Chain A
Amino acid sequence: MSLEPSESRKMPRTLPKSNTGIRGLDEITAGGLPSGRPTLICGEAGSGKTLFSMEFLVHGATQYDEPGVFVAFEEKAEELAINVASLGFDLNQLQRDGLIRIDHVHIERSEIEETGEYNLDGLFIRLAYAIDSIGAKRVVLDTIESLFAGLTNQAVLRAELRRLFEWLKEKQVTTIITGEKGEASLTRQGLEEYVSDCVILLDHRVENKISTRILRIVKYRGSVHGTNEYPFLIDEDGISVLPVTSLQLNHAVSSERLSSGIPALDKMLAGEGFYKASSILVSGTAGTGKTSIAGSFIDKSCKDGVRAIYFAFEESPYQIIRNMRSINIDLQAHIDNGLLMFSASRPTFNGLEMHLLKIMKLIEQFRPNVIVLDPISNLITVGSNSEVKNLLTRLIDFLQSQQITVMFTALALNDNKTEQTDEGVSSLVDVWILVRDIESNGERNRGLYVMKSRGMKHSNQVREFVITDEGLKLVEVFLGPEGVLTGSARETQQLLEKTSEAIRDHALSRKDREIERKRLVLESKIATLKEEFESLQEELNKSYVEDDLKKSIMENNRQELTRKRDDLL
Chain B
Amino acid sequence: MEEVKEEVKEEVWELRLYVAGKTARSVAALANLKKYCEEHLKDKYVIEVIDLLVQPQLAEGDQILAIPTLVKKVPEPIRKIIGDLSNEEKVLVGLNIRAAK
Contact = CB atoms under 8 A, between A and B. Distances in A.
B66 A118 contact: yes
A114 interface: yes
Interface string B55-89: 01101100111111100000001111111111100
B79 to A, nearest CB: 6
B41 to A, nearest CB: 17
Interface string A144-173: 000100110000000000000000000000
B83 A122 contact: no
Interface string B14-26: 0000101000010
Contacts, number: 96
B70 to A, nearest CB: 9
A116 B67 contact: no
A115 B87 contact: yes
A118 B29 CA distance: 10
A125 B82 contact: no
B68 to A, nearest CB: 6
B87 to A, nearest CB: 4
B93 interface: yes
Given A122-B20, A151-B66, 15 more contacts: A105-B65, A111-B78, A113-B90, A113-B91, A113-B94, A114-B83, A115-B82, A115-B86, A118-B68, A122-B64, A123-B66, A125-B53, A126-B59, A126-B65, A151-B65
B47 interface: no
Given A107-B65, A113-B81, A115-B87, A122 B59 contact: yes
B60 A114 contact: no
Contact of B80 (A112, A119, A121, A123): A112
B97 interface: no
A116 B26 CA distance: 11
| 3 closest A-B pairs by CB | A116-B83, A129-B56, A116-B84
B12 interface: no
Interface in B1-47: 18, 20, 25, 29
Interface residues of B, number: 32
A112 B53 contact: no
For chain A, what secondary structure do more than half of its interface residues adopt (helix, strand, loop), or is it mixed? mixed
A118 B82 CA distance: 7
A120 B83 contact: no
Given A122-B59, A129-B57, A115 B65 contact: no
A107 B64 CA distance: 9
A363 interface: no
A153 to B, nearest CB: 8
A51 interface: no
B91 A115 contact: yes
The winner among A122, A128, A129, A150 for most chain B CB atoms within 10 A is A122
B82 A113 contact: yes
A117 interface: yes
Nearest to B83: A116
A170 to B, nearest CB: 17
Nearest to A157: B66
Contacts of A128: 56
A126 B60 contact: yes
A114 B93 CA distance: 11
A558 interface: no
A129 B80 contact: no
A120 B25 contact: no
A272 interface: no
Contacts of A125: 20, 52-53, 56, 59, 67
B20 A118 contact: no
A115 B83 contact: yes
Contacts of B69: 118, 122
Contacts of A126: 56, 59-60, 64-65
Given A113-B93, A113-B94, A116-B84, A122 B66 contact: yes
Contacts of B87: 115-116
Contacts of A147: 65
28 contacts: A111-B79, A111-B80, A112-B79, A113-B90, A113-B94, A114-B81, A114-B90, A115-B81, A115-B83, A115-B84, A115-B85, A115-B90, A116-B83, A116-B86, A116-B87, A118-B66, A118-B69, A119-B25, A119-B67, A120-B66, A121-B52, A121-B67, A122-B65, A122-B66, A125-B53, A126-B64, A129-B59, A151-B65
Contacts of A117: 25, 83-84, 86
A338 B80 CA distance: 65
A108 B25 CA distance: 23
A111 B91 CA distance: 13
Contact of A111 (B65, B66, B77): B77
A392 B83 CA distance: 60
